[in-house]
Chains A and B, each alone.
Chain A
């Protein structure tokens, strides 16, 4: 086991897959000589050369389209989009082509492509560069969407995503890149299956479901609740599509209460989806309606105080959890 950053875990996964399979190649803006805006591709251009670590013009629609073509012809492109906000100009490529080609070609050809891109907010990058748009893609049949919360998952899931025969949107998070954790040694060829949630913390009183960076917030809120005598179970979804509803349902059958937290807007979000599914699967197990919490429903403001007010920070998550517990008659003992 090695202790590495999330960034380094991704880099190692890329390195190992480039090494393992010569069909794998990387494409994106400034990922070569400059080693990527967030340095995830550090050293790879030097090691594998410009043919396998390809610099692209600032033209997301063009290079995502090129990735799709390369994938259809048998290569395994891993396309980096600098942040998820820039994927919007390539939306037609992702949603109308990558996601649909396998079905529209009668199963004869697929698109084994990975798009890596970070979402998230918190650095005053304002309205256009602070979004968590992964639910747009999780909405779309034909795509897989993963969003790991820690280095080990990032490492194992990226390797699996590259080996998958269908397009995978691999969502990272700006705030996660410097988070550290242990990952297995390369010899183990460790991979994680797509679509399996992980119980990150066990508890009996309340289930908090989250993905990506919000898992860390949920764990810290669980610690705070524990100091008041409430044990929250935290579920890290790891993948939004496929969505591991079973793990959530199993937890809610135990706790009778569920709060779904996400960094993005809650309307039509992960919480909306899970609330509906849990509401049906766990109807007779619930002690209160499923609750959800997300970022404020505004374009992200630039002003720091306003940004802090809009973000789904721990305090907001904790307040939602306590409110749900209070609704079930569980209030902190003096």
Chain B
């Protein structure tokens, strides 16, 4: 009996994946543990390994094609086994060959002992096909009955297994918000925002957004819609920091990674976060998660997208270590080779557009982080120092803050710490 290979969940946030490449081809032998395909998730390219021994009988989702989580993308079975005619590309999770409606609807729960034999017939298709019969959970039926809702309208379209109507479906149909904070209770904010526009005219073309762009769209829409942002500006005299960087880089061996302005900013931000624990915390449903160590995300522009790898425990690292780690992360980010844990768990982010000559800008908070520092170019400007006018390299920064997690005063203190550390940059080496 052929076994379906479902599109796996390879990152916390992925909803669908794209087959980048089939490593094994139809007819190839596979052993459990073999890499059979490479999958583009919303963030990175990941290996898909086989959990079965056998022969790759059929590829259901071709290279470059996408499928939702759980959708069968290939079949693995015994050599020479006939591929069931019904094996076609599914449109959704758990969708297998449609069968006769009278087939018993048996499905062992995943953990139920003992393991069901592999030789069971394919899971029959949902109730939608069965006329006059609506599959719904008891509580869904009860709520619908109390509200006078006819469940036949939702038949087969529920969120449960095989289209079973569950509580959230009824609540949604009744126009309730459902249970707050749930992906299923309401369409993703990004989807709502992107209402279908007019059909493209002759000089336009519509293409699928990459998984990464979709992830960025979703996260940024959610952030702007749910995180109350406020912004604080500061100007930092980078004269001494630039001198320090120059001196360090001259002293470093040729093979060493050069220290960038951004490395200094990241280090300053980390030390400032540790100095200001009332800023360094995340809002979570009425609770605050206090961060003890500064994990700083650095926004990296990649080909038509954006990814934010995270430097861990920056307060414990020298600028030299930071330079080495950040250039490694940036390089692998551009090559699409970051691993999932490397892009998770940040407690603050730094976004730097100084290299594009942008004098200042403001950035969108990356939840659940409490803030993000937008860094502009260090521009030589006339500034008044004492009673004299001097030309100094001034870097404008803007701190975007989640006002649920912390306050304006705490943000101001954080910025003051960052400014002090960068204007007395020897502290960054302490």
Measured CB to CB, the residues of A under 8 A from B are 204-205, 226-227, 229, 256, 265-267, 283-289, 291-294, 296-297, 316, 319-320, 323, 327-334
Query: In B162-215, which residues have CB < 8 Å from any A CB?
Result: 164, 166-169, 179, 181-184, 188, 215
> Contact: B111 with A332, CB < 8 Å?
no
User: How extensive is the interface on chain B, given as a class?
Assistant: 35 or more
Residues on the A chain within 8 Å of B169, using CB: 329
In the complex with contacts A265-B113, A323-B110, A329-B166 CB distance below 8 A: yes
List chain B positions with a Cβ less than 8 A from chain A. 12-13, 15, 109-114, 137-142, 158-161, 164, 166-169, 179, 181-184, 188, 215, 218-219, 222, 284-285
A328 and B159 within 8 A (CB):
yes
Question: Which residues of the partner chain A approach B110 to less than 8 Å between Cβ atoms?
Answer: 319-320, 323
24 A–B pairs (Cβ distance < 8 Å), ordered by A: A205-B179, A226-B285, A256-B167, A284-B139, A284-B141, A287-B166, A289-B109, A291-B109, A291-B111, A292-B111, A294-B111, A294-B113, A296-B113, A297-B113, A297-B114, A316-B111, A323-B109, A328-B160, A329-B168, A329-B184, A331-B182, A333-B183, A333-B188, A334-B183
Given contacts A266-B113, A267-B113, A320-B110, are A331 and B183 in contact (CB under 8 A)? Answer: yes
| A284 CA / B140 CA spacing, docked (Å) | 9
Q: Is the CB of A334 within 8 A of B113?
A: no
Residues from chain B with Cβ under 8 Å of A204 in the complex: 179
Contacts of B13 in A (CB 8 A): 334
Closest to A230 in B: B182
Interface contacts (Cβ under 8 Å), in number, total 97
Q: Decide: A285 and B139 in contact? CB cutoff 8 A.
A: yes
Give CA–CA (A297, B116) in the complex, Å.
Answer: 13
What 8 pairs across the A-B complex have the smallest Cβ distances? A329-B159, A334-B13, A333-B183, A329-B184, A329-B168, A297-B113, A229-B181, A293-B111
* Given A288-B137, A294-B111, A330-B168, 6 more pairs with CB closer than 8 A: A229-B285, A256-B137, A284-B142, A323-B109, A328-B166, A329-B166
Residues of B within 8 A of A323 (CB): 109-111
Asked whether A283 lies within 8 Å of B112 as measured between CB atoms, the reply is: no
Bound complex: CA A229 to CA B284 (Å): 9
- Chain A residue numbers with a CB within 8 Å of B284 are 226-227
Closest to A231 in B: B285
* Contact among B142, B167, B218 with A334 in the assembled complex (CB-CB below 8 Å): B218
Residue in chain A with minimal CB distance to B190: A334
- Chain A residue contacts of B141, Cβ below 8 A: 284
Contacts of B182 in A (CB 8 A): 229, 330-331, 333
A213–B236 Cα distance when bound, in Å, is 55
**Which residues of A sit under 8 angstroms from B222, Cβ to Cβ?**
333-334
Check A288/B142 contact, CB under 8 A, given A227-B284, A334-B219.
Answer: no
Partner of B184 from A283, A291, A297, A330 at Cβ < 8 Å = A330
Q: Which residues of B contact A265 (CB under 8 A)?
A: 113
